[in-house]
Structure 1
Amino acid sequence: MGLRIAVLGLGAWGQTLAERWQRQGHTVSGWSRRDGGSAVDLLSQQDLVVSAVAMAGVPPLAQELGPHWPAGLPLLSCSKGLDLTQLTTATQLWAAQLASTPLAALSGPNLATEVQQGLPAASVVASVDEALAQLLQQQLSDRALRLYTNSDPIGTEAAGALKNVMAVAAGISDGLALGANAKASLLCRGLAEIGVVLEGLGGVTSTLYGLAGLGDLLATATSRLSRNYRCGLLLAEGCSEEQTYDQIAATVEGPRTARAALQLAARQGWHLPICEQVVQVLDGAATPADAVRALMERDLRPEWAQP
């Protein structure tokens, strides 16, 4: 028996998920702000609501839908990033408006173009509600998209957000033709930096090495299908932040996430050197080459010390 699913946000990822679940036999309806109308109209008679809007769209959407949310209707969040104002993940934003609603997050190496083509992929459904995670795993998996579960939505979302920043940095590295050694070193240190934020927000360390952490980082930081990686390539070519957005013509979450992460770092006393240099480049305060030099000239330290 298929689910009745409402997908909120019909960008590349939301549309891909909607089409996949329709092919699985679920009854799917969709809403996009650009098409007008209210998402409230989709809430009734649903088994699941999926939020695939950009992070900037989550707070107003959650506030709009909160008073109208049917009791017990679960929400699956697919948004990746940190909110610049509240410095929280997407499910934390939803939870503030939907206190008693069952929540889960979907994350992993999910390049929309490949999933749309039916190429093999795996992802994580993360929820503190184990029964909900297992239900969604069973109902939404298929031969091409294998879903795993974990009980760490905050860590899953933190990893999914910060890997976008590291993908921008990886694009800069490749754009400057720094070589495989430099990129491997960057991603390894980037993983450690993601871990600082993940653990600081209360996530579980093991999540860092799973599909939502290392898996998503490898996909997003190595493929031209990744918007954030392409953003880094364009920055290395000398484009401004706004020029990269014009050329990519789609939402790029890495820059907003980097700025939110630095605000969190200032509040918590964390050191996030890669995030810092990415923001320096985005703001025009450093050239890509200057940013690389700043990272290479940092004080020497043990590998397992904080970044």
Structure 2
Amino acid sequence: MTTATQTVDQVFETYKHREITLAVLGAGAWGSALAFIATTHNHTVRVWSRSGDLSLAEAVDGAEVILSAISMKGVADVVDQLQELNIPETTILVTATKGLDPKTTLTPSLIFQQAFPHHAVAVLSGPNLSKEIEAGLPAATVIACENEIAAEAVQHVFAGENFRTYSSTDPLGAELGGTLKNVIAIAVGVCEGLKLGSNARSALITRALPEVMRVGTHLGGQPETFLGLSGLGDMLATCTSVLSRNYRVGYGLAEGKSLEQILEELGSTAEGVNTAYVLHDIAQREEISIPISKQVYLLLKGDISAEEAVAALMERKLKAEDYQEILQGE
């Protein structure tokens, strides 16, 4: 129970020691998986979707934590609706969406933070394939927030026997790691679809890491974050599993399918497609080198074939392997 004399941080501290009310925005596979985890921990969970019976106001009323797991294209609109609902500052806002806004090129957490400058905004990101989590298989994730107490509070909401949570104070880095790797997963899917072998896949993932770090640190993330669960860990999971929608996009393109056909077959969002387009715009604006992501962008546009994308990467100028590039994202 909140009292007039408690500070916001003191209220956050109480969330670690009791059951809370959680509003999950988005009833897709990821939102449903996170709602399931919280429910098994005896928290009160309300799930909202545009097609559901519960209104957004009803879903978030009295919620101590609001978690957004909606697709990137719906984030800005939902944030606008939430602004009209007078969300108290003792409510922690969490985003589990991995993407970039086409209009502003912002990440979801930055959109939330701009709209709610006095709220704690956290990011939940890690190597988390929703089907495996729903099956009760072991997994780990990162809860990142500049407010450490808020991060720890959300950490306790989702921590369980089969779902280990780690806290971090680098929400932007955690978010960018989970976002940018989706583009790389498309590239790896192409590699697998062309049957190029384990050597090529390993080389691609290894060279992709400094590319992601280069972009992520330029935009404000901390280098070490990209070597953790929300960076390298998420990349490995997404780039090596047929459960990954982005991987399947790349695989389908390598098979000669059109992007439209692949997305129709998936029946769900593959955020890496939109991210590739927005990332290309950011890289041009900020003059960041993204050789792998650029080939994915050209492939998605239909400007080159899968074989031409691979050839372009293999024909790049010879250079020494720079370990500082990997360690520092330069």
TM-score bracket relative to the smaller structure:
over 0.9
Is the 2:173–2:222 Cα contact (8 Å) retained in structure 1? Answer: yes
What corresponds to 2:80 in structure 1? 63
| Aligned positions of 1:77-92 closer than 5 A | 77-92=95-110
Larger CA deviation: 93-102 vs 209-218: 93-102
**1:255 is matched with which residue: 259, 273, 293?**
273
Residue 59 of structure 2 is matched in structure 1 by: 42
The CA deviation at 1:67 is 2.5
* Residue 21 (structure 1) aligned to one of 13, 35, 38: 38
Indicate the residue corresponding to 2:7 in structure 1. Answer: none
Q: Is the counterpart of residue 270 in structure 1 residue 288 in structure 2?
A: yes
What secondary structure sits across from 2:51 in the alignment?
helix
Q: How does 1:123-202 map to 2 (within 5 A)?
A: 123-202=141-220
Query: How much does 1:69 deviate?
Result: 3.3
2:246 aligned partner: 228
| Corresponding position of 2:312 | 294
Counterparts of 2:113 and 2:167 in 1: how far apart (Å)? Answer: 20
User: Normalised by the size of structure 2, how large is the TM-score?
Assistant: 0.91
CA contact (8 A) 1:52 1:78 kept: yes
Misfit runs of 4+, over 4 Å = none
- Cα shift at 1:302: 2.6
Deviation at 1:41, TM superposition (A): 2.5
C-alpha distance after superposition, 1:58-106 (max 9, x if no partner): 0111011112132211111100011111111110011121111111000
SS in 2 for 1:65: helix
Give the partner amino acid of 1:302. Answer: A
In structure 1, the residue corresponding to 2:317 is in which secondary structure? Answer: coil
Measured in 1, the distance between the counterparts of 2:249 and 2:99 equals 16
Q: Which residue does 1:7 correspond to in 2?
A: 24
Distance 2:60 2:153 in 1: 20
The answer to whether the 8 A contact 1:240-1:282 is kept is no
The whole-number CA distance in structure 1 between the counterparts of 2:281 and 2:190 is 23
The one-letter amino acid paired with 1:24 is H
* Aligned with residue 125 of structure 2, among 86, 100, 107: 107
For residues 245-269 of structure 1, give each alpha carbon's deviation from its aligned partner in whole angstroms, at most 9, with x where no partner exists: 0111101000111111111101100
Q: Which has the larger radius of gyration?
A: 2
Q: Choose the corresponding residue for 2:257, options 212, 227, 239.
A: 239
Offset of residue 34 of structure 1: 2.8
CA distance in 2, matches of 1:273, 1:198: 15
Give, in whole Å, the separation in 2 of the partners of 1:59 and 1:9.
14
Gaps of 5+ in 1: none
Determine the C-alpha separation between the residues in 1 that align with 2:260 and 2:100: 20
Match of 2:4 in 1: none
Alpha-carbon separation, structure 1, partners of 2:102 and 2:69: 18
Letter in 2 for 1:226: S
Alignment check: 8 A CA contact 2:57 2:85 kept: yes
Aligned length in residues: 307
Contact in 1 for aligned 2:143/2:166 (Cα 8 Å) = yes
- Deviation sequence 1:210-268 (CA, Å, 0-9, x none): 00001000000000111111111101101111111011110100011111111110110
